[in-house]
Amino acid sequence: MKGEHLTQFLIHEQRKSPAATGEFTLLLSDVATACKAIAHAVNRGALAGHLGVAGSENVQGEVQKKLDVISNDLFIRSLEWTGHLAGMASEENDQVIPIPSGYPRGKYLICFDPLDGSSNIDVNISVGTIFSILRAPDGVTQPSEQDFLQPGTQQVAAGFCVYGPSTVMVLTTGSGVNGFTLDRDVGEFILTHPNLRIPADTAEFAINMSNRRYWEEPVRRYVDECVQGKDGVREKNFNMRWVASMVAEVYRILTRGGIFLYPFDTRDPSKGGRLRLMYEANPMSFIVEQAGGLASTGRERIMEIQPHSIHQRVPVILGSKNEVERVVSYHG
């Protein structure tokens, strides 16, 4: 019900399943608490000395911003002690993150990107947190990387928090998608965007045009047709957007439609793509599909990919159903 806070919403959802123990509800509440802490750190920015680089690189070989490190630490510290997780995996950590000894173990695993789009921090553009929740294999209390390597279809929940003009959490547990806005006066996420749905048609695309020379022909053909507008075979004008923050791109698509493309390119074919399957592509694909959209690499459904590494990269094409289907057909 619009206007209820996140805890109320989760409890109402929990009551629909007689076998529910409440552990999953508490885990999602803990994730929300972590996102509130990160939102506060992001909002403080230069006032707290949080801007600029940290002088280190993550496992991806990317220079870390100070807020990358701060957000990663806040997320881990918010969840490691709660007893709901068997293990964690972060985009910022080389190996899976064990639950410290002395804390109870739960039956869930979480993969997360603590601060997506962090290249935008210093110019005050929206960034966010992305997370994916999986079940730990039965009896596993010290999960290895192999235990995390489940296809996206096995996710039990996924979500992201976008830290923009307002802080909004978008969440799916497999029964649609809902958006919650943080009311800072009471410290609660309030349901403001129930049952988000992505229109099947759109006239808006998001891609980094500076990479055009590296794209495969199907993507080049699709984007060229959009750019040609009414004068081309599509016979309608398109607008282009590019924020370089996946949470901002996907949130826009959820609220007004569109297609987002970070396709395979030839700059470094060994990487297989730009975005991370476990931390970005799978959770965003789950959300987009639950909202009526599609998510593909161009050649296969993202959520059906069998992961081979927690840091695996894949091409991503997601958003309005009819546009994604068109791009996939060009690959075919």
Residues 10 and 154 in one domain: yes
Residues 178 and 75 in one domain: yes
Residues 29 and 135 in one domain: yes
Q: Residue 115, annotated ligand binder?
A: yes
In tens, the pLDDT along 92-124 reads 999 999 999 999 999 999 999 999 988 888 888
Q: Residue 175, annotated ligand binder?
A: no
Rounded CA gap, 226 and 327, in Å? 11
* 8 Å CB contact between 242 and 210: no
Residue 248 included in any domain: yes
Q: Residue 134, annotated ligand binder?
A: no
CATH number at 315 reads 3.40.190.80
Domain endpoint, select from 193, 220, 254: 193
Q: Residue 117, annotated ligand binder?
A: yes
Residues 80 and 211 in one domain: no
Place of tokens 């992201």: 160
Task: Going residue by residue through the chain, which has 332 residues, state the pLDDT in tens, using 9 for 90 and above.
Answer: 778 999 999 988 888 877 777 899 999 999 999 999 999 998 887 655 666 665 555 555 555 678 888 999 999 999 999 999 999 999 999 999 999 999 999 999 999 999 998 888 888 889 999 999 999 999 888 999 999 999 999 999 999 999 999 999 999 999 999 999 999 999 999 999 999 999 999 999 999 999 999 999 999 999 999 999 999 999 999 999 999 999 999 999 999 999 999 999 998 888 889 999 999 999 999 999 999 999 999 999 999 999 999 999 999 999 999 999 999 999 98
Q: Residue 183, annotated ligand binder?
A: no
Residues 227 and 287 in one domain: yes
In tens, the pLDDT along 134-177 reads 999 998 889 999 999 999 999 999 999 999 999 999 999 999 99
Residue 28 included in any domain: yes
Q: Residue 217, annotated ligand binder?
A: no
Strands of the 127-135 sheet, one edge to the other: 97-98, 85-90, 108-116, 127-135, 157-163, 167-172, 177-183, 188-193
CATH number at 149 reads 3.30.540.10
Q: Residue 280, annotated ligand binder?
A: yes
Residue 198 included in any domain: no
What is the bridge-based pairing of β-strands 239-241 and 188-193? Answer: unpaired
pTM score, two decimals?
0.94
Rounded CA gap, 274 and 137, in Å? 29
Residues 249 and 293 in one domain: yes
Q: Residue 329, annotated ligand binder?
A: no
